[in-house]
Amino acid sequence: MIEDSPFVAAAPVLVPMPAERPYTYAVPAGMRVVPGSIVRVPLGPRQVAGIVWDGGVEKVDAKKLRPIEQVFDCPPIDRAMRRFVDWIAQYTLSPPGMVARMLLRAPEAFDPEPWIEGLQRTFAKPDRMTGARMRVLETAEGGLAWTRSGLAHAAGVSSTVIDGLKAQGVFETVMIPPRPVVAAPDPGYAQPSLMPDQSHAAEMLRTNVAAGAFGVTLLDGVTGSGKTEVYFEAVAAALDRGRQVLILLPEIALTHAFLERFQERFGAKPAEWHSDLPPRMRERVWRQVAEGGVRVVAGARSALFLPFRELGLIVVDEEHDPAYKQEDRVFYNARDMAVVRGHIGGFPVVLASATPSVESRVNASQGRYHRAVLSARFAEAALPDLKTIDMRRAPPARGGFLSPVLLGHMRQTLEKHEQSLLFLNRRGYAPLTLCRVCGHRFGCPVCSAWLVEHRFRGQLVCHHCGHNERRPEACPECGTLDHLVACGPGVERIAEEVVAHFSDARTIVLSSDLMGGVRRLRLELEAIAKGEADIVIGTQLVAKGHNFPDMTLVGVVDADLGLSNGDPRAAERTFQLLSQVTGRAGRTGKKSLGLLQTFQPDHPVMRAIVSGDAEAFYEREIAERERAALPPFGRLAGVIVSAATRAEAEGHARGLRRAAPQASDLFVLGPAEAPLSLIGGRHRFRLLIQGERRADMQGFIRSMLAEGPKLRGSVRVQVDIDPQSFL
């Protein structure tokens, strides 16, 4: 692929560093680079991989330039992807080099995959025939090349039989291309018969894909309404047009079940992409995406930075999910960036959710997005009956956290041989440990956070920095033995309570810190789906997407958790999470029940969930956002200043505030000490910038940073455009 001007004597190269612009390198005579070429260049004492960028080069004395060392034998990064990198850098105020770095995460993949040695039948005949040799020759009939072990395996003989035949010239060595990581998906493999509203939605998506132009569709359907089934039709349409497809999923624990489902529909799995993939596999996927061999990728947010060359559709499943926000180095929301990518690439984007974000709902109602609605569950499946349990009227027994009402329903569910799910979004045993004698509380030495007790591991753990220590017998403050108490519940503690009540029930605890990692988690999820557990106790990990056929009761242990944490999205988040959790029940037609333990049964969020009137909730929430000029009606950005000392952090933050430019449509709040005022030994202050929708937020912050105090000592500044977290 040749684009733009092919020959230059010097070329701009974007290197994976906090570089504000590409660096200029000499192109040695005879070397051919184009914008997008992946090259190896010297950088200080090191060699790094970079991308040849667009734009002219500065006028410099060519003799002073260091040369590009090597052009990798790799398809160039295409123009759309390069524009995408520039766009994200501009929008998030990150150095373009740091965005490019996300694209260059599979260094071994820049060289072609090696071809494999294979064997192919010649016209020669073996000196004598044996049964084993006969089987080999029959298997290898048809002239295809085989690997030595593959042929031995398929013919059911030992490899020495093959070696013998090769020695006689019956087989010759040929080189065969690397195997694809996944087979090609077949859009016509198993077409579903869709229900009327499903086929209406599918038609809409198919039309958009066929138009081959940018457009966003919000696929809004209750849990179990067949959203996946429907967006698969958009995937099929894109494949029919010869385009690649990216499906973003918020949680890698979900991927396995998804891959199987995809295979049932398309006859082959999509390639997966997430941090848990073995490095070798990552590189093969990266390479085959770049070469176009992989047609569909299902992956985490970082899959947005794979080097697609014919991308024609992105689906963002569970588009409201906070896991799409990356808050590390480059702060970006993969849902929003998927829309940008579609805009740059000129192709459609589908956002799917049972509980869309307020942002997407507003975009749909203002006509920027199309909206396709699925209002009923598929077939006989009915949504669960939802009720609150007023914890003031039906309190748990002393020392417990489960109301007798919930326990009663759990008993009935057990008697029917159906499953219950208890949801609590708190890992570990207890969020706080204190000494009953002196009142000492166990806090993290380097964070402003309490240590969470993990009783299975016998540890106290900081959930912010990972610091952990053994839970002592005696209080470190007053020395008293055996007087430490656990305050509040985590999932482990709820499990203890459940076992005390239902000692014969098969109980499983699921949370992201499960020993054995993702593999173990997947096995546990499969076991639950097969009915091998009676009671499941889990964090938000169990809330998403899973299909548990026998689950008919969902109990939310603390529905109020997360409602009052100063986050402007607290109500929305709680509504989404609780709808998602209770949506796990009754997916196969059995009568089901969702119970919310709450001290505020009259809170609008509780009322909206129980009444099933999601529309009323969105209307109210949208009106409130509009009144307060909060996103999507206004803009927000966070600036987090951290330093080794409190004084440094505060001083720098105040300096930034003083440097803020005059603007009529933007104003600065703070600096204030962050709610998490200390993380990993660094003191933190926050500035919040709020303003009108059309205001130039990036220009404002850029000027503030430029005019403000210079970065000195241990001070670090992070900009978070469209923040999701205010901690």
Residues near ligand ADP (CB under 6 A) are 192-195, 198, 221, 223-229, 378, 547
Q: How far apart are CA 655 and CA 705, in angstroms?
A: 10
Give the largest Cα separation in the chain, rounded: 93
Mark the segment that binds Zn ion (CB under 5 A) among 220-228, 292-300, 392-400, 438-446. Answer: 438-446
465 binds Zn ion, rule: CB under 5 A: yes
Cβ contacts of 128 within 8 Å, gap of 6 or more: none
346 DSSP 8-state letter: T
Compute the least distance from the CB of residue 657 to ligand ADP, in Å: 46
Q: Which residue, 381 or 653, is less far from ligand ADP as judged by CB?
A: 381
Q: Which residue, 192 or 655, is less far from ligand ADP as judged by CB?
A: 192
Q: Lay out the site mask for Zn ion across 620-659 (x = CB under 5 A, - = otherwise).
A: ----------------------------------------
421 binds Zn ion, rule: CB under 5 A: no
| 438 in Cβ contact with 475 (< 8 Å) | yes
Q: Which residue, 226 or 428, is less far from ligand ADP as judged by CB?
A: 226
Other beta carbons within 10 Å of 387: 14
Query: Please, how many CA atoms are within 13 Å of residue 65, restricted to the half-sphere of its CB?
Result: 21
227 binds, among ligand ADP, Zn ion, none (CB under 5 to 8 A by kind): ligand ADP
Mark the segment that binds Zn ion (CB under 5 A) among 200-208, 443-451, 483-491, 696-704. Answer: 443-451
What the block records as the tokens of 673 is 């000490």
Compute the least distance from the CB of residue 447 to Zn ion, in Å: 3
Q: Which residue, 251 or 560, is less far from ligand ADP as judged by CB?
A: 251
Q: Which residue, 261 or 646, is less far from ligand ADP as judged by CB?
A: 261
65 binds, among ligand ADP, Zn ion, none (CB under 5 to 8 A by kind): none
31 binds Zn ion, rule: CB under 5 A: no
Q: Which residue, 19 or 201, is less far from ligand ADP as judged by CB?
A: 201
What the block records as the tokens of 713 is 């000592």
One of 179, 464, 501, 522 touching Zn ion (CB under 5 A): 464
Residue at shortest CB range from ligand ADP: 226
What the block records as the tokens of 313 is 């559709």
464 binds, among ligand ADP, Zn ion, none (CB under 5 to 8 A by kind): Zn ion
DSSP track, 490-541: -HHHHHHHHHHH-TTS-EEEE-TT-TTHHHHHHHHHHHHHTT--SEEEE-GG
Mark the segment that binds Zn ion (CB under 5 A) among 83-91, 368-376, 430-438, 454-462. Answer: 454-462
217 binds, among Zn ion, ligand ADP, none (CB under 5 to 8 A by kind): none
Q: Which residue, 31 or 195, is less far from ligand ADP as judged by CB?
A: 195
One of 447, 491, 494, 653 touching Zn ion (CB under 5 A): 447
One of 202, 444, 491, 678 touching Zn ion (CB under 5 A): 444
| 680 in Cβ contact with 447 (< 8 Å) | yes
Compute the least distance from the CB of residue 517 to ligand ADP, in Å: 25
469 binds Zn ion, rule: CB under 5 A: no
One of 387, 467, 607, 620 touching Zn ion (CB under 5 A): 467
Strand ranges across the sheet with 215-221: 271-273, 296-299, 244-248, 311-317, 348-353, 215-221, 370-374
Q: Which residue, 200 or 467, is less far from Zn ion as judged by CB?
A: 467
Compute the least distance from the CB of residue 463 to Zn ion, in Å: 8
Compute the least distance from the CB of residue 331 to Zn ion, in Å: 21
Q: Which residue, 282 or 684, is less far from Zn ion as judged by CB?
A: 684
DSSP track, 402-426: S-HHHHHHHHHHHHTT-EEEEE-S-
Q: How far apart are CA 287 and CA 285, in angstroms?
A: 5
| 331 in Cβ contact with 720 (< 8 Å) | yes
Give the relative orientation of helices 196-211 and 227-240 as an angle to the nearest 10 degrees: 30
Mark the segment that binds Zn ion (CB under 5 A) among 271-279, 462-470, 520-528, 715-723. Answer: 462-470
Q: Which residues pair with 327 in a beta bridge?
A: 331
195 binds, among ligand ADP, Zn ion, none (CB under 5 to 8 A by kind): ligand ADP
Compute the least distance from the CB of residue 670 to Zn ion, in Å: 23
Compute the least distance from the CB of residue 352 to ligand ADP, in Å: 7
Mark the segment that binds Zn ion (CB under 5 A) among 136-144, 455-463, 614-622, 692-700. Answer: 455-463
Compute the least distance from the CB of residue 300 to ligand ADP, in Å: 18
CA 687, 361, 377 angle in degrees (round to 5)? 130
Compute the least distance from the CB of residue 420 to ligand ADP, in Å: 20
Q: How far apart are CA 685 and CA 664, in angstroms?
A: 25
Q: How far apart are CA 245 and CA 314, in angstroms?
A: 6
| 40 in Cβ contact with 24 (< 8 Å) | no
Cβ contacts of 489 within 8 Å, gap of 6 or more: 401, 424, 426, 430, 431, 497, 557, 558
Give the relative orientation of helices 517-529 and 255-266 as an angle to the nearest 10 degrees: 60
What the block records as the tokens of 322 is 């906070």
Q: Which residue, 440 or 467, is less far from Zn ion as judged by CB?
A: 467
Q: Which amino acid belongs to residue 300? A: A
Compute the least distance from the CB of residue 200 to ligand ADP, in Å: 12
Please provide residue 388's backbone torsions phi and psi, each rounded to the nearest 5 degrees.
-95, 155
Q: Which residue, 300 or 447, is less far from Zn ion as judged by CB?
A: 447
Q: Which residue, 198 or 388, is less far from ligand ADP as judged by CB?
A: 198
One of 136, 249, 352, 462 touching Zn ion (CB under 5 A): 462
Q: Which amino acid belongs to residue 573? A: R
Helix (H, G, I), strand (E, B) or coil at 84: helix
Residues that bind Zn ion (CB under 5 A): 444, 447, 462, 464-465, 467
